[in-house]
Amino acid sequence: MRNLAQRLWQDDAGFVVSTELVLVATILVIGVTVGQSTLRDAVISELADTAGAINEINQSYSFTSVTGHSSSVTGSIFVDLDDFCDNGTEGVQGSGQGQCVDMDLAARDEGT
């Protein structure tokens, strides 16, 4: 029994390898976590830009009457009214649609 305990005490063949694996795995997990949070921030920024661009679309259109040789078409008009949450309003009372989502992201240089 004493001989077995002495051999186990002197055996360190796997200790260094397992310690290195734990260290490498820890560094990889930290790197993946940082990468995912950076990816999340980039996706949120692009989605906020897309939402802002869609919010600024003006859907109004109009055309006047057209008269040809044997037919004619009257004009038409459509005016895009403010939707829920346009222009920073809190919504129409009684609309039941909840609250507006306002995202104010800090400006940053896209070149870095």
User: What DSSP string describes 45-105?
Assistant: HHHHHHHHHHHT----EEE--EE-SS-EE--EEE-----TTGGG----TT----------P
Quote the pLDDT of residue 106. 64
Q: What is the pLDDT of residues 52-81, one digit of tens each?
A: 888 777 777 787 888 888 888 888 888 777
Quote the pTM value. 0.45
Quote the pLDDT of residue 93. 46
Q: Give the mean pLDDT of the chain.
A: 77
Q: What is the pLDDT of residues 18-35, one digit of tens each?
A: 778 889 999 999 999 999
